[in-house]
């Protein structure tokens, strides 16, 4: 019984320490998720459109990048790609997302998913690694563009940036025996 109580209090001490710190850093988590909100006013020069989009990029390892784009207001894109370029500047295509994308039509638009690896990098990124692309994304030097027949240089665009939280917040309830403790 004494051993059980000791273990219980040791667990509470460890959990309390984690709760006091508030976050646990996970190696590589700062690179795990990138996002972009796409609109016509981010295209250079800006275009008038009702189309919008949201893109998410995740790299589960150093060799593959997974993506998901939700687009509404565009039915038939001519091209979707990642370009190198700071906000307000146009740049070269470095990944042709349309090349390997899978489309799924929804009631309000389309969802485009897929993945690519270093062999899919072109232009100034050709011959580089996914981690090189991640570094460029982290520095704010990449954007996503969706091209249409009406706007062949981009109907919507969004700068790729880090998702809000690069750390894992510890806010779980943990049940120990008959008691629930919030951390």
Within 10 angstroms of residue 153's Cβ, the number of other Cβ atoms is 14
pLDDT single digits (tens) 48-89: 999 999 999 998 888 999 999 999 999 889 999 999 999 999
Least confident of 84-88, 91-95, 179-183: 179-183
pLDDT of residue 167: 32
pLDDT of residue 103: 75
Q: Which residues pair with 158 in a beta bridge?
A: 144
pLDDT single digits (tens) 2-32: 554 444 434 333 334 333 333 322 334 444 5
pLDDT of residue 92: 98
182 pLDDT higher than 90: no
Can you give the three-state secondary structure of 76-133, one letter per residue?
CCCEEEEEECCCCCCCCEEEEHHHCCEEEECCCCEEEEEEEEHHHCCHHHCCCCHHHH
Q: Do residues 91 and 85 touch, judged by C-beta distance below 8 A?
A: yes
Helix (H) or strand (E) holding 69: strand 64-72
pLDDT single digits (tens) 106-164: 767 899 999 999 999 999 999 999 999 999 999 999 999 999 999 999 999 999 998 76
CATH number of 27-164: 2.60.40
Domain range list for the chain: 27-164
Phi, psi of 124 (to 5 degrees): -65, -10
pLDDT of residue 9: 38
pLDDT single digits (tens) 157-175: 999 998 764 432 222 222 2
Q: What is the mean pLDDT of residues 22-50?
A: 73
pLDDT of residue 32: 56
Peptide bond into 45 cis (omega under 30): yes
Helix (H) or strand (E) holding 143: strand 142-147
Helix (H) or strand (E) holding 50: none
Phi, psi of 7 (to 5 degrees): -65, -40
40 pLDDT higher than 90: yes
């Amino acid at each position: 019984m004494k051993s059980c109580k000791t273990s219980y209090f040791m667990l509470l001490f460890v959990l309390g320490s984690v709760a006091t710190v508030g976050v646990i850093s996970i190696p590589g988590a700062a690179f795990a998720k990138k996002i972009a909100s796409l609109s016509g006013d981010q295209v250079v020069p800006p275009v008038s459109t009702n189309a919008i989009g949201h893109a998410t990029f995740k790299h589960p390892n150093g060799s593959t990048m997974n993506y998901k784009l939700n687009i509404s207001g565009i039915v038939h894109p001519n091209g979707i790609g990642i370009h190198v370029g700071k906000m307000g500047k146009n740049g070269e295509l470095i990944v042709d997302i349309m090349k390997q994308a899978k489309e799924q039509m929804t009631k309000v638009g389309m969802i485009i998913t897929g993945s690519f690896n270093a062999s899919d990098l072109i232009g100034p990124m050709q011959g580089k690694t996914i981690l090189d692309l991640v570094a460029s994304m982290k520095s704010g030097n990449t954007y996503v563009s969706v091209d249409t027949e009406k706007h062949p240089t981009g109907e919507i665009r969004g700068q790729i940036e880090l998702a809000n939280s690069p750390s894992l917040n510890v806010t779980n309830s943990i049940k120990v025996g008959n008691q629930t403790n919030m951390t």
